[in-house]
Chains A and B, each alone.
Chain A
Amino acid sequence: MKLPMSYVPAKTSFLILLFACSSLAAASDSIADLPKKAIERSQITVSGARPFVLKASVLEATNPSNTNYKAEIEEYWIAPNKWRRTVRTAAFSQTLIANGDKTTEQLIGDYYPNWLRTLVTAIFEPGDTLQGVDLSRSSDNPVWGGAQICRRFTFMAGVAPVSNKVFSTFCFEGGLLSSVGAPGYHADYKNYKNFAGKRVAHTIREYIEPGTDVEATITELTELKSVDEAQFVVQETSPPLQTVRTSEEALRGLVVSAPEIVWPTVRSGSVAGTLSLYVCLDRSGHVREIYELNSSNPGLSDVARDQVMKWQFKTATNRGVPVQVESMLTFAFQTSIANPIPILEEEEGLKLLVHRVEPTWPAGFAPVGTPVIVTLGVMESGECYGLVFITSDEPTGRSS
């Protein structure tokens, strides 16, 4: 989008993607052209696109009754510089109107959560996450089977001397974007349907954490035949709420109170290593959301998350206006094993198994027969509390 928008991290620019939707065919896209072509085919908010009205409902797919992830999204769009969008949850509501070079915003609530901004970006500006991505320079090419083409980028998080690998992965299928997984943004694009010469994903599934996925479903997407100009009137210009993605160093510079993380003993896994978190602050410097990133011992991520939730930061500003802030934080940990949990070999463990449910593998996840090795945690009662660790001895792919 051309205008400043609340959900767009500062690192992304507001260039309009001036692509012509020349063809929906995808067979011969080069890897370098794939992101550009995929967005040409699917993004409905580019210059020259047809005016539309879009409505979407959001809920937690893994627990539909959870009101924390219920939301409604509605947009009336005429052009990149003329639109009206409302997003609404129980705790937050924003109506943002852009008209020419003016914007106005009606805001209820103090924080626009990352999980909701991710879905809004995925619906209206999926191309934002692909800006500057050169697939030909990927770290490796995960082979997930099916017809998906995936490229993964590995980069380092942290402030010296602490560093940790984190990943961004982009997948395409049939010439369309199928998923983006990056720090602070995890979206699967599904259920593509035709609209005004485009192919538009009508289901966006967002990974929050193990066992928690949120899903946005487009319930209406129709061409806007008649325009009610009253909807787009900007009576009083106001800058929209902004979210800025910053470096870890800059985030640490905003710290007011950050007690040293206390690492408890662990009962299994690595006793020394690193872990990273993706931290989201409101405009008062309070931590509002934290997402786990890569960890040498996933069992310690919750420990770190619980303690960082209590950290306090200064209010960050952009041109004097308070902004929401997002960044990664990386920690080195050192602890010890205490009261180790017995780890049974498969044969011994399966002798105790009395009820088994087979997992449903995502379509095209990996070639048939690919081994996936999990470590499963079992309580004294025999009930499972879930995955402790997943690995696979499948080759990670070839370098590009």
Chain B
Amino acid sequence: MKPEKLSKIESPLQVALKQWRFQPYVRDGKATEFQVKITFHVN
């Protein structure tokens, strides 16, 4: 669990982010799992 204030937004973020789709990230000729940092701004 993250610090409490951030745990409150995990669910809505998960719902949105699990719908994101990327082109495969290719490294050494192979599609590779990766992580990416994204900054959102509350609106």
> Are B14 and A210 touching (Cβ within 8 A)?
yes
One of A7-15, A50-58, A313-321, A362-370 at the interface: A362-370
> Are B16 and A343 touching (Cβ within 8 A)?
no
A104 an interface residue at 8 Å Cβ cutoff?
no
B36 vs chain A, min Cβ distance (A) = 3
The interface residues of chain A lying within 8 Å CB-to-CB of B18 are 211, 384-386
7 closest Cβ pairs, A-B complex: A349-B36, A359-B16, A355-B21, A169-B4, A382-B22, A380-B31, A357-B19
Chain B residue with Cβ nearest A144: B5
Q: How many residues of chain B get a CB closer than 8 Å to chain A's CBs?
A: 40
Partner of A388, one of B6, B23, B35: B35
The interface residues of chain B lying within 8 Å CB-to-CB of A211 are 10-11, 14-15, 18
A123 an interface residue at 8 Å Cβ cutoff?
no
Q: How many residues of chain A get a CB closer than 8 Å to chain B's CBs?
A: 74
Chain B 10-32 interface 0/1 with A at a Cβ cutoff of 8 Å (1 = within): 11111111111111110100111
Q: How many A-B residue pairs have CB under 8 A?
A: 206
> Are B32 and A342 touching (Cβ within 8 A)?
yes
A260 an interface residue at 8 Å Cβ cutoff?
no
B-side residues, CB < 8 A to A, are: 1-25, 27, 30-43
One of A20-28, A83-91, A290-298 at the interface: A290-298
A-side residues, CB < 8 A to B, are: 62, 142, 144-145, 150, 152, 167-169, 179, 181, 186, 207, 210-213, 268, 291-295, 298, 301, 341-346, 348-350, 352-362, 365-392, 396
The interface residues of chain B lying within 8 Å CB-to-CB of A387 are 10, 13-14, 17
The interface residues of chain B lying within 8 Å CB-to-CB of A343 are 34-37
> Are A354 and B14 touching (Cβ within 8 A)?
no
> Are A362 and B17 touching (Cβ within 8 A)?
no
- Complex CA–CA separation, A343 to B27 (angstroms): 12
B12 vs chain A, min Cβ distance (A) = 5
> Are A366 and B20 touching (Cβ within 8 A)?
no
Partner of B37, one of A213, A345, A352, A355: A345
Chain B residue with Cβ nearest A152: B4
> Are A379 and B33 touching (Cβ within 8 A)?
yes
> Are A357 and B35 touching (Cβ within 8 A)?
no
Partner of A169, one of B5, B16, B30, B33: B5
Chain B residue with Cβ nearest A183: B1
The interface residues of chain B lying within 8 Å CB-to-CB of A301 are 1
The interface residues of chain A lying within 8 Å CB-to-CB of B38 are 346, 349-350, 373-376
The interface residues of chain A lying within 8 Å CB-to-CB of B20 are 353, 355-357, 376, 378, 384
* Interface-central residue, A345, A346, A354, A384, by most chain B CB under 10 Å: A384
> Are B15 and A62 touching (Cβ within 8 A)?
yes
Given A360-B15, A361-B12: 16 more A-B contacts, CB < 8 Å: A210-B10, A294-B1, A294-B2, A343-B35, A349-B38, A355-B20, A355-B21, A359-B12, A359-B17, A369-B43, A371-B39, A371-B41, A384-B17, A389-B2, A390-B6, A396-B5
A133 vs chain B, min Cβ distance (A) = 14
The interface residues of chain A lying within 8 Å CB-to-CB of B24 are 352, 380-382
Partner of B4, one of A167, A213, A374, A379: A167
- Complex CA–CA separation, A295 to B3 (angstroms): 9
A369 vs chain B, min Cβ distance (A) = 5
> Are A377 and B1 touching (Cβ within 8 A)?
no
The interface residues of chain A lying within 8 Å CB-to-CB of B1 are 291-295, 298, 301
The interface residues of chain B lying within 8 Å CB-to-CB of A382 are 21-25, 31
The interface residues of chain B lying within 8 Å CB-to-CB of A375 are 35-38
A398 vs chain B, min Cβ distance (A) = 14
A155 vs chain B, min Cβ distance (A) = 12
The interface residues of chain B lying within 8 Å CB-to-CB of A377 are 33, 35
> Are A359 and B13 touching (Cβ within 8 A)?
yes
B10 vs chain A, min Cβ distance (A) = 4
> Are A365 and B4 touching (Cβ within 8 A)?
no
